[in-house]
Amino acid sequence: MTQQPKVSIISACYNAEGTLQDTIDSIVAQDYPNIEYIVMDGVSKDGTLEILKANQDKIQVLVSEPDEGFYNAINKGISLATGEIIALLNSDDLYVSSQVVSKMVACLQEKAVDSVFADVVYVDQADTAKLLRYYSSKGNWNVNRFQWGLMPAHPTFFTYKKTYETFGLFREDLKIAADFDILLRFLGIHQISRAYLPEPIIKMRVGGLSSSGLSSKIQISQEIALVLKSHQISVSWAKLWGRYAFKILQFLPNLWSKSSLVENNPK
d(CA 198, CA 153): 12
Q: What is the predicted pLDDT for the residue at 1?
A: 55
Percent share of the chain, pLDDT over 70: 88
As a whole number, mean pLDDT of residues 67-83 equals 97
Q: How far apart are CA 83 and CA 105, in angstroms?
A: 12
- Among 67-71, 213-217, 228-232, 247-251, the range scoring the smallest mean pLDDT is 247-251
- Residue closest to 178 by CA, chosen among 114, 239, 107, 226: 226
Q: Which of 240, 224, 134 is nearest to 183 (CA)?
A: 224
Cα separation, 197 vs 195, in Å, equals: 7
Indicate the average pLDDT of the chain. 90
Q: Please report the DSSP string for 195-263 in residue order.
A: EEEEEEEEEEESS-TTSSSHHHHHHHHHHHHHHHHHTT----HHHHHHHHHHHHHTT-GGGGGGGGGS-
pLDDT at 9: 98
Q: Is the pLDDT of residue 213 over 80?
A: no
In three-state secondary structure terms, 94 is strand
With cut-offs at 50, 70 and 90, classify the pLDDT of residue 218.
confident
Q: Which of 6-15, 61-70, 155-164, 248-257 has the lowest mean pLDDT?
A: 248-257
At residue 266, the pLDDT reads: 40
Distance CA 128, CA 123 (A): 5
H/E run at residue 39: strand 35-41
* pLDDT number for residue 208: 54
Assign 267 a pLDDT band (cuts: 50, 70, 90): very low
Long-range contacts of residues 59-66, Cβ cutoff 8 Å, at least 24 apart: 59/24, 60/36, 61/36, 61/37, 62/38, 63/38, 63/39, 65/41, 66/42
Strands (E), 89-237: 93-95, 115-123, 131-135, 158-160, 194-205
Confidence of residue 242 (pLDDT cuts 50, 70, 90): confident
| 105-157 pLDDT per residue, tens | 999 999 999 999 999 999 999 999 999 889 999 888 877 889 999 999 999 99
* Number of other residues whose CB lies within 10 A of the CB of residue 203: 25
Q: How many helices (H) and strands (E) does the chain have?
A: 9, 9
Residue-wise pLDDT for 170-203, tens only, equals: 999 999 999 999 999 999 999 999 999 999 999 9
**pLDDT score at 240:** 86
**Residue type at 233 in one-letter notation:** I
Q: How many CB atoms lie within 10 A of CB 97?
A: 20
